[in-house]
Amino acid sequence: MQDRPTRVPKNGDVERPNSARLYDYLLGGAHNFAVDRALAEEHIKVLPADEICRSSRSFLRRVVRLCVASGVRQFLDLGSGIPTAGNVHEVAQLAEPAARVVYVDDEAVTVAHSRAMLKGNPRAAIVHADVRDHAAVLGSPEVRSLIDLDEPVALLMFGILPFLTGADEAAAVVAGYREAVAPGSLIAVSHFTADAEPALASAMVELAAQRGTPITVRSKDQVASLFDGLELLEPGLVVVSQWRGDGEVSGSPAAESVSWGAVGRVPHE
Ligand SMILES: C[S@@+](CC[C@H](N)C(=O)[O-])C[C@H]1O[C@@H](n2cnc3c(N)ncnc32)[C@H](O)[C@@H]1O
């Protein structure tokens, strides 16, 4: 793609690399700029960043298919990045054409790319908002028109919670959405950890800090506490590659164990 496509908004920063476009490049997508590609190559020199992204995306696909198979027809994907390379609306709508998907991201260029990609899809949209602002997300025209909060929703938080670095921020974000959704809703999380691969995790944290988007890793107990009061679906909280793995191998054992993942169901009272 061009380095300055016309759909980039005036306030979009195409001179500085950004997490979503970096991730897009690492997944083989075309929605990235030269600065993102250069930084991605720097990352690959010190850690298996492409394998980590593929493993995470494979988890996403398995979770979305499980949600559809469980009868959930609406998805709210928080911190969605660019919906490229087999993202939620493609996987969900392939399995169930009536599935509705709302993406949320706070980064202007990512949102512009997403809007362009979703044009012509009446059942998918993106909200430009900070996920910490529950009212802005849940009250947005996109959520109000595509998501019925009286029916079960799949709340997807893949790779977003590490960006909420405050001690209680991740828990507060999860709790706020959980309170807004109907019983039977599913909450899916993947979260970077240092539990299995501390050196790899510290390289990821350092690189994120260098690019100006600090992240934090959380332990298994910390991630487990995000699911307090939810019914964890089998196999519980495990490294993402082990969550209902379908034999697909996305990377090296190290790359496959940098994130915890689980899906919990909001119980009926
Ligand atoms: C590592 S990417 C994950 C993308 C996608 N969920 C996936 O797993 O393929 C994290 C995304 O979260 C977004 N993000 C970070 N902090 C955010 C916030 N406070 N509100 C909304 N989006 C945020 C970033 O812009 C980025 O697109």
- Could you tell me if residue 226 is inside a domain? yes
In a domain, 34, yes or no: no
Orientation of helix 108-118 relative to helix 19-26, angle to 10°: 50
242: left (phi over 0), alpha (psi -120 to 50) or beta: alpha
Coil vs helix vs strand at 220? helix
pLDDT of 28: 84
What's the longest Cα–Cα distance across the chain?
52
In a domain, 187, yes or no: yes
Give the rounded percent of residues in the chain with a pLDDT score beyond 90. Answer: 65
Closest to 95 in 3D by CA, of 113, 116, 70, 78: 70
CATH of the domain at 104: 3.40.50.150
Can you give the pLDDT at residue 13? 66
State which H helix or E strand residue 115 sits in: helix 108-118
Ligand 1 pocket list (CB less than 6 A) = 19-20, 23, 56-57, 60, 79-81, 104-107, 110, 130-132, 158-160, 163
pLDDT tens digits, 42-90: 888 888 888 888 888 889 999 999 999 999 999 999 999 887 767 999 9
Q: Is 177 left (phi over 0), alpha (psi -120 to 50) or beta?
A: alpha
Domain of 133 in residue numbering reads as 51-195+217-265
Nearest C-alpha to atom 18 of ligand 1 is from which residue? 130
Confidence at residue 5, expressed as pLDDT on a 0 to 100 scale? 42
In Å, what is the CA distance from 135 to each residue of 28, 58, 78, 130, 185?
34, 31, 14, 10, 19
* Inside any domain, residue 157: yes
In a domain, 223, yes or no: yes
Classify residue 201: in a domain, yes or no. no
pLDDT per residue as tens digits for the range 158-195: 999 999 999 999 999 999 999 999 999 999 999 999 99
Asked whether the bond before 83 is cis by omega within 30 degrees of 0, the reply is no
What pLDDT score was predicted for residue 10? Answer: 39
Residue 99 pLDDT level (bands cut at 50, 70, 90) = very high
